[in-house]
Each structure stands twice: as structure tokens, then as C-alpha cells.
Chain A
Amino acid sequence: MTPLRTFDLTCPVPSALEETVQLAHGGGGRAMKRLLDTIVRPTFSDPELDRCHDGAVLEIDGPLAFTTDSYVVRPLFFPGGDIGSLAINGTVNDLAMCGARPLYLSVALILEEGLPLDTLRRIVVSMREAAVAAGVRLVTGDTKVVDHGKADGMFVNTAGVGRIVAPAPIGPSSLRPGDAVIASGDIGRHGIAVMAAREGLRFETAIESDCAALAGPVLALIERGVAVHCLRDLTRGGLASASVEIAESSRSAIVLDEAAIPVREDVAAACELLGLDPLHVASEGRFLAFVAAGDAERALEVLRDHPVSRGAVVVGRVEAGPAGRVFLRGLLGATRTVDMLSGEQLPRIC
């Protein structure tokens, strides 16, 4: 059967065989309703979402954390994850970094015309699985479609709310000189996994993204009464950016010990090959915990009990100054500065 083709540039009519996303799917009409009814809502399967109202009505008592993030990763699927799991875990993690129990997320999809519907199905399923694993509900959302060539397949925004459970404020202003800096595990897997999946670099590796929800270990730290002063998940810009941001916002100094920073051998090798510094390579399921010096051992015990933070180690300490600076004690004993990169890290020959 030949699919019907009509050309009407202002109001595309859905073709009889819908294998791909069409502009009509974002138009607010029957096509969009069909997309939501057949793909999105049954997969997310949430009573609030199924009420099909303009917004979710929720009851939360107490102080809230609220965050949002957009996801534009390319390629959409990479070893260890996809844009869907990334989008759910990323927002869950931002809430956890505030010392909150993540509760409800919104999902906004911007789909590129021509995206295979199967791809959309896979990603939506991945989001659902990530949400279940993280213990959050997907309660509201939006779908838009843009012209072919305008969205790299798909862009996603997630926003989330969580209930603050930390007894004391968790943030840069709570940092104290002497605090231990703990990394929850080895760094750089996500950045390398994504780069390996991009065409052009063509290397074989077993490295998978470390994309994961971090609420579990964070809530455990809080429940066990560990004196957590600050938390920061490592994303773009890696350990270096996270440390510099915290040092600057807290007006303190951070000293890292290069020998203590965990990097898997194959991640280190990929970095060597591409001329990248692991300190600047993204992770997506790792965080820094700044805890009172006396509580460092207990923090490590709690973290190592959780699958996503088994590799937790102390990687440095906080000092009073010079304010806003991050230093690295190198392998040979010399100290050097650490800064954020100015732009994206480019593979180099030199």
C-alpha cells in the first residue's frame, strides 16, 4: 500500500503510515493526542498524568527544592544510557544535591520531525525505568515538534521538586576549612562513553556511562546523621568545574590529591589517546560530598554500602584560602592550580 502523501507547507496532514514524528504530532490536535495516548501516557503510567489536566496538583509539606535542566546529548543512545535516563537522573541528582528527597518530575519533549517513533518509544521506556529506579513520579509534561534539522533528534527538559530532608542547609556557604572532599566513585566514564559513541572517533571500548540516580546514597548520609556541608554532582566540566564552582561560591580553597582521584585505567587511556584531562571529563552518576573532617570515615562507610558509590574515596580537603582557588597536589609532589576550561574540550594532537 502506497502511503498517502500530501504537500501542504502550512498544515501538514499526517500520513497514513506513521513511522516517524511529524509536525502534526506537536500541533495540539488528534495526532498529538494519539502520540500521548499510545506512547507517552501508557508508559509513564501515572495517575496524575492520566488526569490530562494542564498541571499536576500535588501536596507537599515543608521546604521544597526545585530544579530544572535541559538535555541535548548527541548521540541519543550511548553505552550505559540514553537521553531519557540522563534527563531523569540529572534532575533527580540536582534535587539530591540540595539535600532533598526527589518526588515529582515534569518532562518536556522537543522532537525533531522525522524522528523514528520507535526511538521515541525506547526513550520514553528508559525514562520510566529511571524514574522507577529513582523512586520519582512523572506527573506532567509537554510535547513540541520542530522542523527537520532543528533538534538533533530530540531535546528534553525535566524539572523536579523534592522535599528537603537535611537538618542543616547543604550548600557552599556551609563549607568549613578542614572539611574532607569525597568523590563517590571513579570519574570520566560518561564523557568518554559519549565520545566513543560519536562517529568520527571510532574507538572500541567497554566503557559505559556512569549515569545513575544518586538520591539513595545522599539520603543515607543524611539519615545516618553524617555532617554533610555541601554536595555537588559532577556533570559537564567534570571534577575540575565542580570544585572550582564550589570554591568560588564558598570563598574557600580546595586542595585535591592527584594520586587519590580515582580514574579507571581504560578511561585514563582514552583520555591519553584524545589528549584530554580526566579532571575535565563529564560523569553523570558521581558526586562530591564535603563533610566535616571528623565524619569522613563514617561518610565513606555509608557511601560504600550503596552500589552507585562503592568506590567512594577522600580526594582532598577544604582550606580557608586563597579564596576561590583549587589546587592539585601532583603525582611528583608539586602543586598546581586547577581551573575550568574556557570552552568545550577538543581532542588534540599536540
Chain B
Amino acid sequence: MRFRDEYRDATAARRLADAISGLCTRPWTLMEVCGGQTHAIVRFGIDELLPPGLTLLHGPGCPVCVTPVEHIDKAIEIACRPNVTLCSFGDMLRVPGTKGDLLLARSQGADVRVVYSPLDAVAIAGATPSREVVFFAVGFETTAPTTALAVWQAKEAGLANFSMLVSHVLVPPAMHALLSAPGNRVQGFLAAGHVCTVMGFREYEAMAARYRVPIVVTGFEPLDILEGIHMCVAQLERGRAVVENQYSRSVRRDGNGPAQAIMRAVFRVIPRRWRGIGELADSGLGLAEAYGDFDAERRFGTVAGSEDVPGECIGALVLRGERKPPDCPAFATRCTPDRPLGVTMVSSEGACAAYHRYRGVRAPSPGARA
């Protein structure tokens, strides 16, 4: 596949890794924000190619992981109502709510459908006018324009039976929260390349200056991530702290104009509680008044507040980069993808799930004994 395979070249990866080693004169701690980047790092073993002093912390960029539990509960409650079809991205089906998940609800008779695109949910609404069709809108700024367009199209088509349960979150407030937390160890960021494809990276320039951290907008293939790391380390070694764009084949400084325009028309910025982090001001999206009729919370009742009851789960610490999954005493023993104690293990982008899937219970690699 073009624009994918060439970014997985092993020789080029080695060369970049060697170049990074060559640059480092002291230990550095970086954070990749996006769950997709974490996934790629663990899957391709990028962290194993890096020099020992260079640490990668995994950030909270997994919208599935940070969706508050009360939103999951609300989605399940809506799905269980008669005459309702709940449409969702596949990622959300196994995320645990307070009592079970959407998959369990489906097995008990709820009409839960996996869709590839928000427009598929609108199509279902159009095809089944006698049923209420609700779309569970989860995701960062990358996804928000697509759900905005879905609502816009539903309004244009006059669909009275379509609504959305909106749970979108925004990345920059989370980065601010991480950077301003006491004890923050992050010295440089790999910013989320697809979020920035939509939003651009202007809003990171003030952040870089204020907190004196380099921020490199980075893609998702191995060579992208390695180049992003190289650029970040180069800045750190030279005492620079600016925003750079590694993912320039897709990201422009101003981002995607039409996508931002539809987001502004359909959504407004609201406070949002992040699972594992707590409430952050101006960190979520809700439907604007003009689209209020399409708000599932208006039709089916507002989402109730809830407290995180983590129990043994240290997912919150993992999301903030303060712990790595293998640090958790329950990792791969009491907590597995089959029986997750928390969301970072069940989401396919969660750090715990990535480690469990690609590293398993840490065992010596075959051949390492030789």
C-alpha cells in the first residue's frame, strides 16, 4: 500500500534509531499523546530500538479509554429501550460500564449495531423511520467533524428519529493538564497527527512557549514516529522548545478548514469529565442549540454524574503516563482483555491492551537465551 509500506522499511528504521542514539547526550522523557501511536510503538517494538536513556510515556490519547463511565451507562440504558437502535463504532462495545457493556446488552436483546461511519447510522435512521436511531459519538477532534456532518445531514433530511449521544473530547486541554500537574516528567511531546490534520497546530505554539516543551506533530507509521522522536530530541539537545511538523504530508498549520467549519456550526465547547483524569474545563464537545433536537440526552434524559471507582485498576495513572502497564500488580494476572479491571485493558488503543497483546506476560524472547 502506498503511503504505508514505505514508512515501515526496516533499514530506514534502524538508521533513524541510530541517528537518535547519536543525538542523545543525556536521558530524556517524551510522551506520545495518541493511543494509535502507542499501539504502533508497542506493536513494532519502536521503544526497543531507542537508546536506554530515552523514555517514552504513553499519553491519554485514547478517546475510548477516557470516555466517562456514565456515558457508557447511558448508552447501554438507551440501547435497552424498546424500539431503539443504538449505533456505535466497534471500539466501544466491550468498554465496561458500571454493570456490563454494550456487547452484553446486545446479547440480552438490545439492538446494538456496529457501524464503520457515522453516516451509516444516518442511513439506518432513514431506512427505519419507525425506530429511534441513536449514534454514540465518541472520539477526538479527528472524529468530531464526521459526526457533525452526520447530524447536519440528518437535519437537512428532516430525520426526526435520529439523535446522537455526544462524548467527544479535545486534546489540548489534556496536554495542559499533564504539563501543569506537579511532578510532570514529560520533557517533549509527540502530538497526535490525525487530530492535527483536522485542527492544525496553531494552538500548540503558545503551549510550547509557556511550558518550554518541544511539541512535534507526528504521524503513525514507524518511520513517522522515529522521525518525530528524532526531531524532538534534536530540539531538547539544543535547548529549543517550539512546535514542528513531522507529519507534513497530511498536516498543515491551519488544519482542515471545512472540517473545522462544520464542527463550529454543530458543536459548542463544554466541560467534560475524563475517565481517570477528572473534569477539565473546555475539553469536550456538545451539540449547539441549533442542533439541540438531535441531542440524545434531551430525548432520553441527561447523563447522570458518577464517581470513578477504580478498585485495583491503575488505568488513571497509566493514562497520565505516571505508570506503565507492567507496573500494575494485576497486569496480565487478574486483569486481562477477557476480564478487564479497567478501560485501558479493554480498549484496543489502551496502553494496557497494547502491552498485553504484543508483550504478554514478560517472558524472555526466544533466542535471547543463546
Contact = CB atoms under 8 A, between A and B. Distances in A.
Instruction: Determine direct contact between A and B, CB below 8 Å.
Output: yes
Given A336-B358, A350-B36, A272 B4 contact: yes
Contacts of A265: 1
Contacts, number: 102
A44 interface: no
A330 B64 contact: no
- Output the residue of B103, B347, B356, B358 with the most chain A CB within 10 A: B358
A348 B357 contact: no
Nearest to A317: B366
B49 A347 contact: no
Contact of A331 (B44, B63, B363): B44
Interface in B10-35: 10, 13-14, 35
B62 interface: yes
A332 B13 contact: yes
Contact of B10 (A322, A331, A339, A346): A331
Interface residues of A, number: 31
Contacts of B13: 332
Contacts of B63: 350
Contact of B45 (A334, A348, A350): A334
A104 interface: no
Contacts of A274: 116
A339 B365 contact: no
B348 interface: yes
Determine chain A's interface SS by DSSP, over half rule: loop
B357 A342 contact: no
Interface string A312-350: 000000010010010100111111110101110011111
B120 interface: yes
Question: Interface size for chain B: under 10, 10 to 19, 20 to 34, or 35 or more residues?
Answer: 35 or more
A332 B222 contact: yes
A337 B366 contact: no
B187 to A, nearest CB: 24
B91 A349 contact: yes
Interface in A268-325: 268-269, 272, 274-275, 319, 322, 325
B366 A331 contact: no
Contacts of A343: 94, 103
A201 B116 contact: yes
A201 B120 CA distance: 9
B263 to A, nearest CB: 17
A149 interface: no
B326 interface: no
Contacts of A347: 89-90, 114, 116
B327 interface: no
B258 interface: no
Nearest to A346: B90
- Output the residue of B8, B35, B91 with the most chain A CB within 10 A: B91
A350 B347 contact: yes
28 contacts: A200-B113, A200-B116, A255-B366, A255-B367, A268-B1, A272-B4, A274-B116, A275-B348, A325-B360, A330-B44, A331-B222, A332-B10, A332-B14, A332-B49, A332-B222, A333-B49, A334-B45, A336-B45, A343-B103, A346-B90, A347-B114, A348-B348, A348-B349, A349-B90, A350-B35, A350-B62, A350-B348, A350-B349
A-B CB proximity, top 4 nearest: A334-B45, A346-B90, A337-B360, A336-B358
Interface of A: 200-201, 253, 255, 265, 268-269, 272, 274-275, 319, 322, 325, 327, 330-337, 339, 341-343, 346-350
Interface of B: 1, 4, 8, 10, 13-14, 35-36, 42-46, 48-49, 62-64, 89-91, 93-94, 103, 113-116, 120, 139, 143, 222, 336-338, 347-349, 356-360, 363-367
